Structure 1
Amino acid sequence: MHLRSHARLFRSPRLPLFTALFALIVAFALALPAPAQAQTFRFTAFDVQGNTRISDSAILTYAGIAPGAVVSGAQVNDALQRLQNTGLFEAVEVIPRGATLVIAVQEYPTINRIAIEGNQRLDDDVLLPQISSTPRRAYSPSLAEQDAGAIAEAYRVSGRLTATVTPRIIRLPENRVDLVFEVAEGRVVETERISFVGNRAYSDRRLRRVLESTQAGLLRAVIRRDTFIAERIALDRQLLTDFYQDRGYVDFQILSVTPELARDRDAYFVTFNIREGQSFSLGTITTVSEIPGVEAAAYQDVIRIRSGQTYSPRLIDNTITRMENLATQQGLRFVRVEPRITRNDAARTLDVTFVISRGDRVFVERIDIEGNQTTLDRVIRRQFTTVEGDPFDPRAIRQAAERIRATGFFADVAVEGRPGTASDQVIVDVDVEEQPTGSLGFSASFSTDTGPGLAVTFSEDNFLGRGQALDFAFNTAEGSQAFTFAFTEPGFLNRDLALSLSAFYSETTAQNRDFDTLDMGVRAGLAFPVSEYGRLNVYYGIEQNQISGIDPAQSSPIIAADEGERLNSYAGIQYAYDTRNTGLDPTRGIRLQFGAEYAGLGGDAEYIQATFLGIAEQQVLREEVTLRASFEAGALETISGNSRLNDRFFLSSRQMRGFDAYGLGPRDTAAPNADALGGNFYAVARFEAAFPIGLPDEYGISGGVFYDIGSVWGLDNTVGFGGAPVDDSLSWRQTIGFSIFWDTAIGPLRFNFSHPLVFESYDQTREFDLTIEARF
């Protein structure tokens, strides 16, 4: 009726149109309901329920509502959300009751114990440290999920990518739970195949030897180096790049690395797509000086590389180091040597000009070391040739980083420079990640010389974090026992001076000889570098030797004369020159070792002994075949009396293949036991070629052929059993044969099949030799 009345007014022609419209709007507004007012609360009291560990005040603080304050319903809901987000409660209710706010909570239970079930491959000792949840603390579902992820990551690193971990709780009285992580380990994901695309200069077999990753082999159930680990790919890329660049392939590129997971998720197939480019050689090598008064000729003289040699960044870097060292010797500071390279694509050569110029006047402010929990700072600092206050040389810093890595104490090393407190100052930051440096080993071995044997070894390369090496070994085999102890301080007196101390004890009982021996002694030495590849070692030792169990009716009088005890005091010097370990995966190298020893500093013996060892290796035919030649010799000259059995030279079956240990050389054939007498001189030359035999390289089986020639001769006394003379003349023995090598993670196996070509009738020959060493 009311709306109709207004409608009649709205339709009346006697009223103005605007007035009628206004009247209609007012009528509708009066007919609409009034808007609802927002509900507000004023709480003067709080009732907290259900909490046992967490105090009322802490819960009210989390809620964030002040007594007596006016709050809206939305603010009450926000308080509920804040309490839930603390992660302390399984359930939360916030109930307004007049002026009282009731907060009812259900706390998460307390963890009674933590257990891991279903883990067979990784022990609890490995997995429990990955867990952040702890007993007697409140259970947190989010933290338990994080712990499950950490356990799964430990399995992923070990190659089990399909492992799953599920956290479960078992309810107990008094709001306690047992937290159990159920593990489904899955299968190990192996690297089934590593292949290369784009390689022409080197075969897949050769390139696989460069990588840290390996293919699954015959002993995949035991060997885990073939487990796929994604983090190794980055290292493999760097190793492959360094390998090619060290051989002159300056344009080498890795276009892509594709790890492809097999359909059943139990194996990876890794493919390296590479572009080799061409190998470049060194062209013209010159030196230019841009510093007035500094002659380039002196720096040219220290260059050891030559035109026509395969280009390698390592060779350039070594040459720069020599030049900078010369500048230091001349008293020059802030000298920079920069290689300027001119490329000749037609001849595939790189002309190198070493430019000597002034570098920036920047000093090392300090060296900061972080990350070393066990290793002392001084062990790391002694790898630097630079100290605080010296000119900053980025090359020297990089070389120090390489030396720190080479210690083997650290899993990761990062050395970087950053601006110091002044524009001419640089701070060198060293960040290291330590790794285990000790090992305890138990091994079983077999040799056709000594038969089966057992050994216990302990070694620590970073003893007490001082960089010192400690080694202990106990070996026992049929008819022999031996104990050795060695300690080395590589930075004696804070210099590149290695102090070594060692002790040994060994005894044999009729080991291929008709008498017993006992030897024990101690030795101390100092070793230091004398050139880039040369090192000198001086030492002193004292030994107690004993020969017993000789039957004069059976043995040669030459041996019987040596029965009893003898004290030997001696000093010696040894020089070693070794280039075999220079560069990445070197293709050639030599080792030369000269030694001289004098006995007579007290004791019962007086003699002079000289020894020599030379080894040369080279890889040919695209580095598929390794040629190796070695020569060793020794001479013993007695000053008083005759040489004793302990001092004379004998050859083992490893030194001269095709013969037993003590199987060649002078022998008293008239004596019933005809024991070997040894000799004052010996010489052996060995020539060997090792090559693949067509089997898949993941088997680790290769072959080889060899030729040995050698002899032992010379005695001071040649009157043998019954007065018969002993033949001690020089007579060369010769052997040919072939070998089967099996390189496994549990130890190297070598099978030698020998055929002596030239030998004496009294020699003891051997046509098969097997050496096995297994470490567990």
Structure 2
Amino acid sequence: MKAGSNLLNAVSAVALTAGIVVTGAGVATLAGVTIAEAAVVSRVDVRGNSRVDASTVRGNLTISPGSSFDNNDIDESVKRLFATGLFSDVQISVSGSTLIVTVSENQIINQVVFNGNKKIKDTALSQVVQSRQLGAYNDLLLQADIQAIKDAYSAIGRSDAVVTTRLVPVDGGRVNIAFEINEGDRTKISAINFVGNQAFGDGRLADVITTKRSGMLSFLTRKDVYDEDKLRADEELLRRFYYNRGYADFRVISSFAELDEANNEYVVSITVEEGERYVFGDVSIESTVPGIDSDALKGLLETRTGAVYSAKDVEDTIMAISDRVATQGYPFAQITPRGDRDFNNRTISVVYLVDEGTRAYVERIEIRGNTRTRDYVIRREFDLSEGDAFNQVLVRRAKKRLEDLKFFSSVDISTQPGSQPDRVVLIVDVKDQATGEFGVGGGYSNSDGFTATVDITERNFLGRGQYIRASVGGGTDTREYSMSFTEPYFLGYRLAAGFDVFKKTDSSYTGFDDDTQGINLRIGAPITENLYFQTAFKFTQTEYSDLATIASNPESNAISRTIANGGHDVASLSYTLAYSTLDDRTLPREGISARVTQEFAGLGFDADYIKTTAKASYFHMLSESADMVGQFTAGAGNVVSTSGNLRVFDHLFLGQETIRGFDTRGIGPRVFDGSSYVGAAGGTTYFNGSVEVSAPMPMLSRDLGLRFNVFADAATLYGNDIAASDFVSGSSVQTLVGNDMEWRASVGAGITWASPFGPLRVYYAEPVVKQDYDDVKKFGFGASTRF
């Protein structure tokens, strides 16, 4: 910077003389002027400018005619002019009473182009660089842009990308900038090594972290891209994993990556120290806040003496106590867990101390990094807002809610001091990720042949946090169409309101076809963090074809005769209670998921019944080292008429969705016409159970995401309530078979693949207990993918 050099030389030259020195050219250069001898000029003369107006130059000076100034003003003026980015050189001098500002203008950028880029589009690179069309050319800015482009390629796993620039001058002091890009090859991760782990194998720990070893499908998943920030986040994931499994002394000794430049591959090494495994010792609550009864809070404890130590259980307890004392009028109360290790017995006793915390308020919430999701979608997950009492527990809860949305690949919440000592600024850093899914599912049955379903789902529609799904499916005899929409914060409250519209045509019945369409309106809200309530109104309208044939044919089966009125309209109200403590929605390893629904049909239409269904699943890790997960599921259902007999389609039907190895409506009572079984009649009561064990595929890398599972299913459906008169028509008498409580069972095996396109499932099930009239479907598959 010439101006800086001139100033330094001038300061040296006049260190022992007056502040003004006359040069051979007759120009007095302002040098080191002391405050005691401050200079004054009567006007400012701007030279060297052609495109930039002189007023712009004067406006960036701290020196004005008639006012005294010194070296500090000179320095500040030079800095301001350079900061505009308009000039490549600035010199300030004095001639008599005139301040002369001589500038050399930067060239104007005429055009910015990118050459050689294929993996990253021009539009994306344009957002990365700061050089813009009609902006001022700046060499320092250009170097920063080169580094920014390299960083963008490193983020997609191309750390060896080479970026150069080519400048092409054009008329009028303008310049074209061309970024020449050699994208290079993908920088892979050849290995991830764990050192010091004894309790858990390398494969299990590799499942925990987000950084993955390169594989044949890594170009789709991009999980093998090395990033130092991601590696730091992986350290935290490992800490959580160990802390929640009793290893309270766990720590990461080091984590780093070495680049093999010859092969363009990273080797990631993570060294850990597991420490001993602890269980909870004595657990108690103490309060120093008058009015808070410690004994009354003991029912909120998630930590139990003798249970394996878990940091999550401690956090859940803190949250529960914090919520309770806040509702009792103590918003600033602070809950601090105090642990006491017994190294000999390997126990940790915990005392939850409730005391008055620091009185601090949230000054503002700043949200950064969200390029798609709107700010209000993030803000509404906080139970506090600007001006509220700062509560660290509520901040942690908001972080968990944001992570559970699955809208972001990373969520980080930090704090900064506010404008006053009792003010706190919350900084929320997020990174958007793909939230759309394209799903394909299907199967094969002896009766329907191949069936297929295609659906499109978007969980963050237009960045508003709304859920929308459209589905089309069918087989040889069926066609299905549906669309769903959910607004998770209806009217600004934590109420999930939405609707489902659907249409289905089914010609698989004997003697008739049915065409069903309807709408389902629903609204739900969380009762607690784990308990959810939903209520809904549903209306369906079913029309039947070939009614003339049904009415004139004395051999028509009992199922056909029950719908010979031409249609069947059902209006119902229902409620659902859902409970979940699952540790992961995609691949649960621990926790409970339960749901119970009651539906009340009537309201003056063609159906009058009360239908109740329930299902619960329990997941438990059978072997941490082998990542073997056990699952037990049980379910039950019952429907009872509130007026007369049930119509056939008001009954319950069971099949492959409940007991694998059997077709849709594959088990339960059936109509027999003396020579063949002519259709499923449904039942009023069912019970089902399932046991399943899954583990990574042996002899294969866990990075492939393949899991093998074996299962055993059992179910029964019985108690048909069709009127007896419907089984007699003229001389024809049909009978109902399978109306007793008869169990079916199947065993099978399958493979689940956590593919880049989403979870894909394939299974084969062999019925080992069945009836002659059951419909069998031994093979099934399904898949979904994100976009």
Superposition TM-score tier, normalisation by shorter sequence: 0.7 to 0.9
Q: What are the residue-to-residue correspondences of 1:339-418 with 2, within 5 Å?
A: 339-356=337-354, 358-360=355-357, 362-364=359-361, 366-371=363-368, 382-386=380-384, 392-408=390-406, 411-416=410-415, 418=417
Residue 27 of structure 1 is matched in structure 2 by none
The equivalent of 1:490 in structure 2 is 489
Q: What secondary structure is seen at the aligned counterpart in 2 of 1:602?
A: coil
Contact 1:214 1:226 in 2 (8 A): yes
Shift of 1:167: 1.6
- Aligned with 2:603: secondary structure? strand
Residue 662 of structure 2 aligns to a residue whose secondary structure is coil
What is the Cα deviation at residue 82 of structure 1? 13
Of 674, 699, 702, 1:697 maps to: 702
State the distance in 2 between where 1:187 and 1:487 align.
Answer: 43
Paired residues of 1:666 and 1:678 also in contact (CA < 8 A)? yes
Task: Give the partner amino acid of 1:481.
Answer: E
- The 5-angstrom pairing of residues 746-765 of structure 1 reads 746-765=757-776
Amino acid in the other structure paired with 1:703? F
Considering only aligned residues, what root-mean-square deviation do their CA atoms show, in Å?
4.2
User: Structure 1 residue aligned with 2:266, among 265, 268, 272?
Assistant: 268
Which amino acid in structure 2 is aligned with residue 735 of structure 1?
S
Could you say what secondary structure the match of 2:576 adopts? Answer: strand
Distance change in 2, residues 1:367/1:755 (3 Å): same
The Cα offsets for residues 737-775 of structure 1, whole Å up to 9 and x where unpaired, read as 122222211132222122211111122223332323445
Distance 1:297 1:49 in 2: 82
Q: Deviations over 1:100-122 (max 9, x none)?
A: xxx99997665443321211111
Aligned equivalents of 2:138, 2:384: Cα separation in 1? 51
SS at match of 1:601: coil
Residues 597-641 of structure 1: CA deviation (Å, up to 9, x unaligned): 100123221111000101011011225211001112211112224
Change (3 A) 1:618 1:512: farther
**Partner of residue 206 from structure 1, selected from 204, 207, 212:** 204
Partners of 2:670 and 2:411 lie apart in 1 by 57
Q: Contact (CA 8 Å) 2:153, 2:161: kept in 1 or not?
A: yes
Match 1:581 to one of 578, 583, 589: 583
User: Structure 1 residues 91, 742: closer, same or farther in 2, change over 3 A?
Assistant: same
- Which amino acid is 2:621 matched to? Q
* Paired residue type of 2:536: Y
Aligned with 1:726 (options 721, 730, 736) = 736
1:666 matched residue in structure 2: 669
| Alpha carbons of structure 1 residues 477 and 268: separation in structure 2 relative to 1, 3 Å | farther
Letter in 2 for 1:612: A
5+ residue gaps, structure 2, are 1-20, 29-44, 65-77, 92-100
Contact 2:498 2:523 in 1 (8 A): no
What is the CA distance between 1:283 and its match in structure 2?
1.1
Residue in 1 that maps onto 2:639: 636
Change (3 A) 1:149 1:516: farther
Structure 1 gap ranges (5+): 1-36, 67-79, 94-102
**Partner SS state of residue 595, structure 2:** strand
Give, in whole Å, the separation in 2 of the partners of 1:539 and 1:61.
Answer: 66
User: What SS does the aligned partner of 1:729 have?
Assistant: coil
Matching of residue 710 in structure 1 with residue 715 in structure 2? yes
Per-residue Cα deviation, 1:464-509 (whole angstroms, up to 9, x for no partner): 75x5x23131324444231212222336564x4x141203122234
CA distance in 1, matches of 2:81, 2:688: 85
Distance (Å, rounded) in 2 between the aligned partners of 1:127 and 1:560: 68
Larger deviation, residues 218-227 vs 376-385: 376-385
Task: Give the alignment of 1:132-281 within 5 angstroms.
Answer: 132-172=130-170, 177-281=175-279
Return closer, same or farther for 1:342/1:61 CA change in 2, 3 Å cut-off: closer
Q: Indicate the residue corresponding to 2:118 in structure 1.
A: 120
Match of 1:599 among 593, 598, 601: 601
- How big is each residue's C-alpha offset from its partner over 1:676-697, in whole Å with a ceiling of 9 and x where there is no partner? 2322222221111112323111
Deviations along 1:64-84, whole A, 9 cap, x unmatched? 9x9xxxxxxxxxxxxx99999
Quote how far apart the aligned CAs of 1:441 are.
Answer: 4.7
Residue in 1 that maps onto 2:5: none
Kept in 2, the 8 Å contact 1:373–1:434? The answer is no
Structure 1 residue 772 corresponds to structure 2 residue 772: no
Moved more, 622-631 or 128-137: 128-137
Match of 1:448 among 414, 434, 444: 444
Distance 1:720 1:680, change over 3 A: farther
**Judging changes above 3 Å, is the alpha-carbon distance between structure 1 residues 136 and 612 closer, same or farther for their aligned structure 2 residues?**
same
Aligned residue type for 1:737: G
- Whether 1:40 and 2:43 are equivalent positions in the alignment is no
Taking a change above 3 Å as real, the CA distance of residues 172 and 385 of structure 1, as seen in their structure-2 partners, is closer
Residue 571 of structure 1: CA displacement?
A: 0.8
Aligned partners of 2:27 and 2:213: how far apart in 1? Answer: 72
TM-score (norm 1): 0.81
Any conservation in 2 of the 1:438–1:458 contact (CA below 8 Å)? Answer: no
Over 3 Å counting, the alpha-carbon distance change for 1:303 and 1:749 in structure 2 is: closer
Alpha-carbon contact 2:443-2:779 (below 8 Å) kept: no
After superposition, the Cα gap between the structure-2 partners of 1:359 and 1:775, relative to the gap in structure 1 and judged at 3 Å, is closer
Distance 2:80 2:371 in 1: 41
Contact 1:405 1:413 in 2 (8 A): no
- The CA distance in 2 between the partners of 1:430 and 1:441, in whole Å, is 32
Equivalent position of 1:29 in the other structure: none
Over 3 Å counting, the alpha-carbon distance change for 1:726 and 1:157 in structure 2 is same
Deviations 1:345-401 (A, max 9, x none): 111111223344x41462536444454898777655554445677655433444344
* Contact persistence 2:559–2:679 (CA under 8 A): no
Q: Match of 2:497? A: 500
Decide which of 652, 664, 688 is 1:684's aligned counterpart: 688
Counting matched residue pairs gives: 713
Give, in whole Å, the separation in 1 of the partners of 2:181 and 2:287.
68
The 3 A distance-change label for structure 1 pair 218 and 649 is farther
Matches within 5 A, 1:453-602: 453=452, 455=454, 457-461=456-460, 465=464, 469-478=466-475, 479-490=478-489, 492=491, 494=493, 496=494, 498-510=495-507, 515-531=512-528, 533-548=530-545, 552=550, 556-562=557-563, 564-581=566-583, 587-602=589-604
Verify the 8 A CA contact 1:559 1:677 in the aligned structure 2.
no
**Residue in 2 aligned with 1:28?**
none
| SS of match in other structure, 2:678 | coil
- The amino acid of 1:617's aligned partner reads F
Q: 1:454 to 1:145 in 2, by over 3 A?
A: farther
Note if contact 1:668-1:677 (Cα within 8 Å) is conserved in structure 2. Answer: yes
Q: Alignment partner of 2:657: what SS?
A: coil
Between the aligned partners of 2:575 and 2:535, the Cα distance in structure 1 is: 4
Pick closer, same or farther for the CA change 1:456–1:177 going to 2, 3 Å: farther
Give the SS at the match of 1:605: coil
Report the CA distance between 1:249 and its aligned residue. Answer: 0.7
1:441-463: CA deviation from partner (whole Å, max 9, x where unpaired) = 54444433684646452525376
Checking the alignment, whether the CA contact within 8 Å between 2:88 and 2:138 is kept in structure 1 is: no
Secondary structure class of the residue paired with 1:399: helix
Give the equivalent residue in structure 2 for 1:428.
Answer: 424
The answer to whether the Cα contact below 8 Å between 1:364 and 1:387 also exists between their aligned partners in 2 is no
Query: Given the superposition, is the C-alpha separation of residues 585 and 766 from structure 1 closer, same or farther in structure 2, using an over 3 Å criterion?
Result: closer
For residues 526 and 59 of structure 2, the distance between their equivalents in structure 1, rounded to whole angstroms, comes to: 70
Q: Report if aligned partners of 1:708, 1:735 keep a CA contact under 8 Å in 2.
A: yes
When residues 401 and 38 of structure 1 are mapped into structure 2, their CA distance, relative to the original with a 3 A threshold, is: same
- 1:93-140 deviation per Cα after TM superposition (whole angstroms, max 9, x unaligned): 9xxxxxxxxx99997665443321211111222112223223344544
TM-score (norm 2): 0.80
Bigger CA radius of gyration: 1
Per-residue CA distance 1:30-54 (angstroms, 9 max, x = gap): xxxxxxx99611269xx99998645
Paired AA for residue 345 in structure 1? F
Percent identity (aligned): 27
Structure 2 counterpart of 1:687, one-letter code: V
Q: Is the 8 A contact 2:473 2:480 kept in 1?
A: yes
